[in-house]
Chains A and B, each alone.
Chain A
Amino acid sequence: MNDGEIMIDGVSNTSKSNQESEGINLNPNAQKCLQQLLRVWLGFERDLSTVPLLRRIDLGTYTIEDHLCLLRNLRQQVIEGARWITRAASSFDRNHAGIRSTIISHAVDEHRDYELLEQDYVASGGKIEDILGMERNIGSEALHGYLMHRSSRQNPIDLLGAMWIIEGLGEKMARSWAERIQELTGLTEDSTRFMSYHGHNDGDHMLRFYEMLDEVCVDEMATSSIVKTSKVVARLYRLQLEEVEHGLE
C-alpha cells in the first residue's frame, strides 16, 4: 500500500535542506534554473513509466529476471559515472576550486558503488561472471560518450544538469523501486542495496548541489547550458534503460 510518502526527488530534499541551513537562498538565476530543472526531472520521471521494464514495476509484473537484467545494465553506467565525475573535477580551474572539492568528495563517496551492484546481482541469484562480462548497452555508450565529452571541457558547469538527473534517479530508486521490487519478486534487502544506499546519501548530496548551483548559475547562459545538459542526460539515460532488454548481437 502507498504509505502516503509523496515526494519529488530532490525537491523534498530542497525543503529539508532549507530547514537545515536557512542560509541557502538561491540567487534569482539559480532559482529560475531550479524551476526549469524540476520540469525536466518531472518529464523524465513520467517518461520512465513508458520504459517496458520499469512499467512492470508500476503494473506489478516485474520479475527476478527483470531485476538481474536491470542490474547487469546499470553496472557499466555506474563504473563510467565514477570516471566522468572525476574527469569533470579535473576540468575545473582554480577559480572553481570549491566546486572541484565538492565534486571530488562526491566521487569518493560513489566511485566504488558498482561493487554493491555486483553483490546485489549475486544475492538475486545471478552469476558474478555474467555481470562482470556485460558490456555497455547502446544507451550506456551514448550517455557515457556524451558525459566524457562534456566533462573534458574547461569548467563544465553544465554538468550540474547531469548530476541533477542522476542524483534524482538515485533517490527515486531508493524511494519507489527498492521496496517494491522486494515485494514483487520475493528478493530481500540484499538484492536492492545499491538502490537503497543511494537514498541515504542523497540528502547531503542535494544540499551541496544547491550550493554549487547558487555559485555557478549566475546568468542566463549558465542556466540554459545546465538545463540543456539535463535534458540530454535525461533522454540518454532513458535510452539506456530502454535498451536493457535488447541484445547486443
Chain B
Amino acid sequence: MSVYITSTGAFLPGPPIAVEEVEGVLGAIHGKPSWLRVQIQKANKIQTRHYAIDKNQQTTHSNTLMATNAASECLDRSYISRDKVGMLAVATTQGDHPAPGMASMVQAELGLPELEILTAHGICSSSMMALKAAWNSLRLEEHEAALVVSSELASRLLKKQRYEAATKSTFAEKSVDFNTEFLRWMLSDGAGALLLQNRPAPKGVSLRIDWVRGFSHAHAFPTCMSVGSAGRVDDERTWQDYDTYADAETAGALLMRQDVRLLDNILRMGVDGYLRLAEEGVSKPAEVDHFLCHYSSHHFKDKILELLDAAGVGIPEERWWTNLYTRGNTGAASLFIMIDEFLRTDEVEISEGQTILCFVPESGRFNTTYMQLTVVKQ
C-alpha cells in the first residue's frame, strides 16, 4: 500500500522578526544586552523568525492554536472532507500542558470527531516519529487518511523572565554560560502539517513516502540538549524532584540547555546513518534530486556537506533546499514548514518521479531520522 502526502499547511505566528529585533521580543535579561547574541546569530545566519509571544513576553498564540492553524490550512487545501481523517498524530517538544498529550488538545480545537490520536514527544525528530506512525497506520490499511502536525513554542522557555528567575543556576553564577544561552538565539516558533492519504491528490503534486528510518544513539552518548535538570554533573535531580517547582526554577532546572561540546557528534552520527542507508542500497546519493536537510544553523551546513563529500556520498549543494534563513529554526516543526514552502516555491522545479531526501537530526540525545519521498503528479 503506497501512502502519499497530498496536502500541506504551515503557520508562523506574528510578523517576521529581524536579527536586531530578537532581543526586544525575548527581552534583555536584567535589562542588559547579551554578549553572545551577535556571535550566535552571525553563525546561524537566520535572518527572520517568528514568535508566539509579544514584546512584553505575553503569549499571543498557544502551541495548540498554532498546530490547529497549520492543520486547518492543510485540510482546507486538501481534496477530502475532514471526516475522512482517521488519525491525528501531533509532535512537539513541549505542549501547552504536561498532560494530556497535545494531540488531544489539537483534536478538540480542530473539532475532529472520534479519531485515533498519537502524541509524539521529543525534540526535532519527534515530527518524523509521528509521521512514521501515521504512515504505518495507512500502510496497515487502518485508515484512508491521517493528519500529522508538528508545532513548537520555544520562546516561552527563552524569554528573559525564565533566566532572571534562575537565581541559583549556572547561568546566574557564570559571567557567560554559553550552553544555557545558546538556544536562545537559535530557536523560534511555528507549526507545520501534512495530510497523508492512501492515494495521490486528484490534482497537482503529491509526495509518495518511500521509506522513513531512524537511528538513535542515546545508549552511548550523554544528553546534549535538554530541559529539566540544573546542568550540574553532580546533581541528578530532575525538575519534579525539587520540593517545589519554584525551587526547580531557581536552580535553573527549567532552562533549556545545549552541551555545545557534544554537538559535533550529531553530525557524525548523521553521516553514519546516511552511509548505512547507502550501504543497504536504500538511498542512492546520485539519485537524490532535492535534499531537505533540517540543520539548526548555517554553521552546520558546510560541515555536513564536507562530511558527506568526504565519505563519498555527497549530494551537490545546488540540490539542497531550506527555508531556515527566513522561517527560523522551529525544531520539530521545521521539516513540515520546509516541505510546505518547498512545494510552493518558484526557486526549484519539481517534476514527476523526482526523489526528495529529508533528514532530521536531533541533538537531544542523538537521534537521526531520514525519509525519502517521490514526486507524483496528476
Residues of A at the B interface (CB closer than 8 Å) are: 1-2, 4-8, 11-12, 14-15, 31, 34-36, 38-39, 42-43, 45-47, 49-50, 55, 58-61, 180
Known: A35-B278, A39-B272, A45-B268. A15 touches B233 (CB 8 A): no
Instruction: Give CA–CA (A49, B267) in the complex, Å.
Output: 15
Known: A43-B272, A46-B217. A2 touches B279 (CB 8 A): no
Could you jot down 9 A-B contacts, CB within 8 Å? A1-B178, A6-B263, A8-B268, A39-B272, A39-B276, A39-B279, A42-B272, A45-B268, A50-B220
Asked if B275 and A35 sit within 8 Å, CB to CB, the answer is yes
Asked if B275 and A49 sit within 8 Å, CB to CB, the answer is no
Asked if A38 and B269 sit within 8 Å, CB to CB, the answer is no
Asked if B233 and A61 sit within 8 Å, CB to CB, the answer is yes
Chain B residues contacting A180 (CB-CB under 8 Å) are 261
Asked if A11 and B310 sit within 8 Å, CB to CB, the answer is yes
Would you give the shortest CB distance from B251 to chain A, in whole angstroms? 18
Chain A residues contacting B55 (CB-CB under 8 Å) are none
The DSSP consensus for interface residues of chain B is helix
A14 closest partner in B (C-beta): B310
Would you give the shortest CB distance from A144 to chain B, in whole angstroms? 26
Chain A residues contacting B217 (CB-CB under 8 Å) are 46
Asked if B311 and A35 sit within 8 Å, CB to CB, the answer is yes
Q: What number of B residues sit within 8 Å (CB to CB) of A?
A: 33
Tell whether B306 is near chain A: CB-to-CB under 8 Å. yes
Tell whether B264 is near chain A: CB-to-CB under 8 Å. yes
Would you give the shortest CB distance from A88 to chain B, in whole angstroms? 27
Chain A residues contacting B269 (CB-CB under 8 Å) are 42, 46
Asked if B299 and A49 sit within 8 Å, CB to CB, the answer is no
Would you give the shortest CB distance from A146 to chain B, in whole angstroms? 24
Asked if A36 and B261 sit within 8 Å, CB to CB, the answer is no
Chain A residues contacting B275 (CB-CB under 8 Å) are 35, 38-39, 42
5 tightest A-B contacts by CB? A6-B264, A42-B272, A11-B310, A2-B260, A6-B303
Asked if B220 and A15 sit within 8 Å, CB to CB, the answer is no
Asked if B310 and A2 sit within 8 Å, CB to CB, the answer is no
Q: Which of A4, A12, A35 contacts B313 (CB 8 A)?
A: A35
Interface centre among A14, A15, A46, A60, by most chain B C-beta atoms within 10 angstroms, is A46
Asked if B220 and A4 sit within 8 Å, CB to CB, the answer is no
Asked if A49 and B222 sit within 8 Å, CB to CB, the answer is yes
Would you give the shortest CB distance from A147 to chain B, in whole angstroms? 25
Asked if A8 and B307 sit within 8 Å, CB to CB, the answer is yes
Instruction: Give CA–CA (A86, B154) in the complex, Å.
Output: 58
Chain B residues contacting A1 (CB-CB under 8 Å) are 178, 260-261
Asked if A55 and B309 sit within 8 Å, CB to CB, the answer is no
Instruction: Give CA–CA (A75, B32) in the complex, Å.
Output: 51
Would you give the shortest CB distance from B71 to chain A, in whole angstroms? 36
Q: Which of B222, B267, B300, B310 contacts A58 (CB 8 A)?
A: B222
Tell whether B38 is near chain A: CB-to-CB under 8 Å. no
Residues of B at the A interface (CB closer than 8 Å) are: 43, 178, 217, 219-222, 233, 260-265, 267-269, 271-272, 275-276, 278-279, 299-300, 303, 306-307, 309-313
Q: Which of B265, B276, B313 contacts A46 (CB 8 A)?
A: B265
Chain A residues contacting B265 (CB-CB under 8 Å) are 46, 49
Instruction: Give CA–CA (A42, B274) in the complex, Å.
Output: 12
Asked if B220 and A59 sit within 8 Å, CB to CB, the answer is no
Would you give the shortest CB distance from B293 to chain A, in whole angstroms? 15
Asked if A8 and B271 sit within 8 Å, CB to CB, the answer is yes
Chain A residues contacting B271 (CB-CB under 8 Å) are 8, 38, 42
A61 closest partner in B (C-beta): B233
Q: What 13 additional pairs, Cβ within 8 angstroms, besides A12-B306, A38-B275?
A: A2-B260, A2-B263, A6-B303, A35-B275, A36-B279, A42-B275, A46-B217, A46-B272, A49-B222, A58-B262, A59-B222, A59-B233, A180-B261
Asked if A55 and B267 sit within 8 Å, CB to CB, the answer is no
B306 closest partner in A (C-beta): A15
Chain B residues contacting A50 (CB-CB under 8 Å) are 219-220
Chain B residues contacting A8 (CB-CB under 8 Å) are 268, 271, 307, 310-311
Instruction: Give CA–CA (A58, B217) in the complex, Å.
Output: 15
Instruction: Give CA–CA (A63, B311) in the complex, Å.
Output: 35
Asked if A4 and B268 sit within 8 Å, CB to CB, the answer is no
Asked if A49 and B303 sit within 8 Å, CB to CB, the answer is no
Asked if A6 and B221 sit within 8 Å, CB to CB, the answer is no
Asked if A15 and B310 sit within 8 Å, CB to CB, the answer is yes
Instruction: Give CA–CA (A55, B262) in the complex, Å.
Output: 11
Chain A residues contacting B221 (CB-CB under 8 Å) are 46, 49, 58
Would you give the shortest CB distance from A47 to chain B, in whole angstroms? 6
Chain B residues contacting A5 (CB-CB under 8 Å) are 264
Interface centre among B221, B268, B278, by most chain A C-beta atoms within 10 angstroms, is B268
A31 closest partner in B (C-beta): B312
A18 closest partner in B (C-beta): B310
A1 closest partner in B (C-beta): B178
Chain B residues contacting A39 (CB-CB under 8 Å) are 272, 275-276, 279
Asked if B264 and A34 sit within 8 Å, CB to CB, the answer is no
Instruction: Give CA–CA (A93, B352) in the complex, Å.
Output: 56
Chain B residues contacting A4 (CB-CB under 8 Å) are 43, 299
Known: A6-B264, A45-B268, A46-B221. A60 touches B312 (CB 8 A): no
Asked if B261 and A58 sit within 8 Å, CB to CB, the answer is yes
Would you give the shortest CB distance from A29 to chain B, in whole angstroms? 12
Instruction: Give CA–CA (A36, B272) in the complex, Å.
Output: 10
Instruction: Give CA–CA (A128, B261) in the complex, Å.
Output: 33
Instruction: Give CA–CA (A35, B271) in the complex, Å.
Output: 11
Chain B residues contacting A2 (CB-CB under 8 Å) are 260-261, 263-264
